Structure 1
Amino acid sequence: MLTQYINEMLDLPELKIHQILSIGTDAIHIEAIPLGDKQRCPYCKSDRDVIRKGRNDARTIRHLPVFEKKTYLHVPSIRMYCTRCEAGFVWVYEFVGPKQRYSRLFRAHTVELVLGSTAAHGARMQQAPVSTVQRMHNEAVPGQCEQIYEQVWEEAKTTAALVLGVDDFAIKKGHTYNTGIHNLKGETMLDLLPGRKLEDLQAYAQAHPDFLLLNPKAVVMDLAQVYHVWISECFPNAIRIADRFHVHGYVIESVQEVRKTVQHTLSPRAKAYLKANHRLLNPPAESLGEESRNRLEVLLNYSPLLRRVWEWKEAFTTWYDCSPNFAVAKLGFERWCKQGAQIEHTAVRGTLKTMCNWKEEIVNYHQCRWTNATVEGRHNRIKAFQRRHYFTRNRNRYRSGILVECHRHRMFS
Structure 2
Amino acid sequence: MPERKIELIGPGFKIHSVTGSNPKIIEAEYVGPVACPGCEGTELRTKDRILRRLHHASLGRSATRLHLTVRKYHCRRCGRYFRPRMPGILPYRRSTEQFRRQVYLDHRDGISREQLRRNCRIGTATVERWFHDHLELKERMFSGRECPEVLGIDEHFFSKKNGYVTTFCDLKKHRVFELALGRSEKALEPFLKGLKGRERVKVVCIDLSGSYRAIVRKYFPNARIVADRFHVVRTVLRHFLATWKQLDPDGRANRGLLSLMRRHASKLRPDQKLRLNRYLDAHPAVRILYEAKESLCALLNIKHRTKKQCQPLIRRLVNWIWKLRYSGFPAMETLAETLDNWSSEIACMWRFTKNNGITEGFHTKMEVIQRRAYGFKNFTNYRLRVIVMCG
Q: TM-score range with shorter-chain normalisation?
A: 0.7 to 0.9
Aligned residues: 386
SS at match of 2:353: coil
Distance 1:136 1:371 in 2: 37
Shift of 1:286: 2.5
Equivalent residue number for residue 350 of structure 1: 334
User: In structure 2, what is the Cα distance between the partners aligned to 1:45 and 1:369?
Assistant: 59
Q: 2:180 — aligned with what?
A: 193
Alpha-carbon separation, structure 2, partners of 1:138 and 1:400: 8
- Cα distance, 1:402 vs structure 2: 2.0
CA RMSD, aligned part only? 3.2
Where do residues 225-304 of structure 1 align in structure 2 (5 Å cutoff)?
225-258=210-243, 260-261=245-246, 264-265=249-250, 274-276=254-256, 278-290=258-270, 293=273, 296-297=276-277, 300=280, 303-304=283-284
* Contact map agreement 1:315 1:336 (CA 8 A) in 2: no
Q: Distance in 2 between matches of 1:125 and 1:355?
A: 59
Q: Which residue of 1 aligns with 2:88?
A: 95
Distance 2:117 2:290 in 1: 52
Distance across 1 between alignment mates of 2:167 and 2:353: 20
Matched, 1:13 2:11: yes
* Residues 183/122 of structure 1: CA separation in 2 closer, same or farther (3 Å cut): farther
Between 97-106 and 384-393, report the one with greater CA deviation: 384-393
The one of 42, 58, 72 aligned to 1:47: 42
| Distance apart, 1:371 and its partner CA | 0.9
Identity %: 24
Instruction: Write the distance in 1 (CA, Å) between the matches of 2:46 and 2:15.
Output: 21
**CA–CA distance in structure 2, aligned partners of residues 303 and 297 of structure 1:** 10
Structure 1 residues 7, 165: closer, same or farther in 2, change over 3 A? same
For residues 278 and 57 of structure 2, the distance between their equivalents in structure 1, rounded to whole angstroms, comes to 61
CA contact (8 A) 2:157 2:165 kept: yes
Partner in structure 1 of residue 128 of structure 2: 134
Judging changes above 3 Å, is the alpha-carbon distance between structure 1 residues 320 and 90 closer, same or farther for their aligned structure 2 residues? same
Is the Cα contact below 8 Å between 2:233 and 2:300 reproduced in 1? no
Spell out the pairing of 1:64-143 with structure 2 (5 A cutoff): 64-115=57-108, 117=110, 119-120=112-113, 123=116, 127-129=120-122, 130-143=124-137
Q: 2:299 — aligned with what?
A: 319
After TM superposition, the structure 1 stretch with the greater mean CA deviation from structure 2, 112-121 or 196-205, is 112-121
Shift of 1:96: 1.9
Letter in 1 for 2:297: T
Distance of 2:94 and 2:247 partners within structure 1: 69
User: Structure 1's 234 and 293: CA in aligned 2 closer, same or farther, altered over 3 A?
Assistant: same
SS in 1 for 2:38: coil
In 2, Cα distance between equivalents of 1:223 and 1:238: 16
Q: Normalized against structure 2, the TM-score is what? A: 0.85
TM-score normalised to the size of structure 1?
A: 0.81
- Please say if residues 153 and 190 of structure 1, whose CA atoms lie closer than 8 Å, have aligned partners that are also in contact: no
Q: Which runs of 5+ in 2 are unaligned?
A: none
Question: Mean alpha-carbon deviation: is it higher for 393-402 or for 348-357?
Answer: 393-402
Change (3 A) 1:287 1:148: farther
Q: CA deviation at 1:138?
A: 0.7
Change over 3 Å in CA distance of 1:87–1:389 after alignment to 2: farther
After superposition, residues 155-170 of structure 1 pair within 5 angstroms as 156=148, 162-170=149-157
- 1:193-222 CA-partner distances (Å, limit 9, x unpaired): 2222222333333334x243x322221112
Shift of 1:175: 6.3
In structure 2, the CA distance between the partners of 1:216 and 1:93, relative to structure 1 (3 Å rule), is same
Measured at CA, do residues 112 and 122 of structure 1 come closer, stay the same or move farther in structure 2, by a change above 3 Å?
farther
1:220 is the counterpart of 2:205: yes
- Contact 1:62–1:101, Cα closer than 8 Å, also in 2: yes
- Which SS does the other structure have where 1:322 is aligned? coil
Q: CA deviation at 1:379?
A: 1.5
Distance of aligned partners of 1:173 and 1:80 in 2 relative to their CA distance in 1, 3 Å threshold: same
Contact conserved, 2:325 with 2:337, CA < 8 A, in 1?
Answer: no
> Structure 1, residues 231-282: CA drift from partner, whole Å, max 9, x if none?
212333422112112212212222443455566435xxx95xx325633433
Question: Residue deviations 1:159-218, cap 9 Å, x none?
Answer: xxx22222222213696122222222222332222222222333333334x243x32222
- Quote the residue 1:411 is aligned against: none
Note closer, same or farther for the CA distance 1:131–1:201 as it changes in structure 2 (3 Å cut).
closer
Pairing 1:168-207 to 2, within 5 Å after superposition: 168-172=155-159, 176-207=163-194
Question: What 5-or-longer segments of structure 1 have no aligned partner?
Answer: 157-161, 408-413
281-290 or 293-302, which deviates more:
293-302
User: Which AA in structure 2 matches 1:41?
Assistant: C
Distance of 1:67 and 1:218 partners within structure 2? 49
Name the residue aligned to 1:410: none
